[in-house]
Amino acid sequence: MEKKNIRFLLQYDGSRYDGWQKQGNTENTIQGRLEQVLSRLAGEPVEVFGAGRTDEGVHALGQVANARLVTDMTEREILDYVNRYLPDDILALRADRVPDRFHSRLNAAGKVYLYRIDMAEKSQVFQRRYIYTLGQTLDVEAMRQAAVYLTGTHDFRSFCAARRFRKPTVRTIQEIRISCEGSVVELRFGGDGFLYHMVRILTGTLIEVGQGKRTPESMTQILEAEDRDAAGFTAPARGLFLAEVLY
């Protein structure tokens, strides 16, 4: 049997998990669950590499992960096996063999995140775990104006929750698109990479613009401050989705 590098495209409901990344103090992670299943398939420990380390409660529509397996199974058989033993709130959409040097995180060129907000007082029953119920009307046009200031290449240290983050904090956001349908506002963020809680802090800051607490022009001062306290609140995890990983 030969060792194969298999890339998985995954969906999951992050509501009951402690995030993507395997941790020493909990076994309840997406990475941990997938490693358990693949290790049983291969008959030996298997390490899974994810493209994005989604936080506790964050969901994914298009997470990418890869793992190297010694198996004679076909990709279709691997996919069927994984879905047979994964819990119902994690689904592998695809399993493809990729070159040995492929790494889901290191080879990623960018990511797309979605954040959903409901301006209604109460969300529909079957949406409440996947949307932030704000219960307040937002000035969506002001939010769009603010998003223009945040688009492009900037130092986003003010939008990073890790205050002692020592790595470079310059990132490029190619797109912040804000759409509205009924009472639901959806924010789409596309960029080359995102800092710890960056999308949720960006969202919280844009919400404050929509509430009239900040002006669109104040985004410039927030970026220049390079201080987490200058930006808005961290929006709840439940409204956030990793939508797509770009290669």
State pLDDT tens for residues 121-168: 988 888 889 999 999 999 999 999 999 999 999 999 999 998 777 789
Q: pLDDT tier at 26 (50, 70, 90 boundaries)?
A: confident
- Is residue 55 flagged as an active site residue? yes
Instruction: Report which residue type is found at 127.
Output: Q
Close Cβ partners of 189 (under 8 Å, ≥ 6 residues apart):
112, 113, 114, 115, 173, 175, 176, 199, 202
**In sequence order, which residues have a C-beta less than 8 Å from that of residue 92 and are 6 or more positions away?**
8, 9, 10, 79, 82, 83, 86
Domain formed by 3-98, architecture: 2-Layer Sandwich (3.30)
Fold: same for 3-98 and 110-246:
yes
Contact 18, 26 (CB under 8 A): yes
Residue extents of the structural domains in the chain = 3-98, 110-246
- What is the model's pTM? 0.94
The 10s digit of each residue's pLDDT in 194-206 is: 999 999 999 999 9
Of the candidates 55, 72, 80, 118, the residue annotated as catalytic is 55
Question: With pLDDT > 70 as the criterion, what percentage of the chain qualifies?
Answer: 100
In CATH terms, the fold of domain 110-246 is Alpha-Beta Plaits (3.30.70)
Q: Looking at the predicted structure, is the pLDDT value of residue 58 above 80?
A: yes
Q: Please report, rounded to a whole number, the percentage of residues in the chain having pLDDT higher than 90.
A: 91
Assign 110 a pLDDT band (cuts: 50, 70, 90). Answer: very high
Largest Cα–Cα distance of the chain, in whole Å? Answer: 62
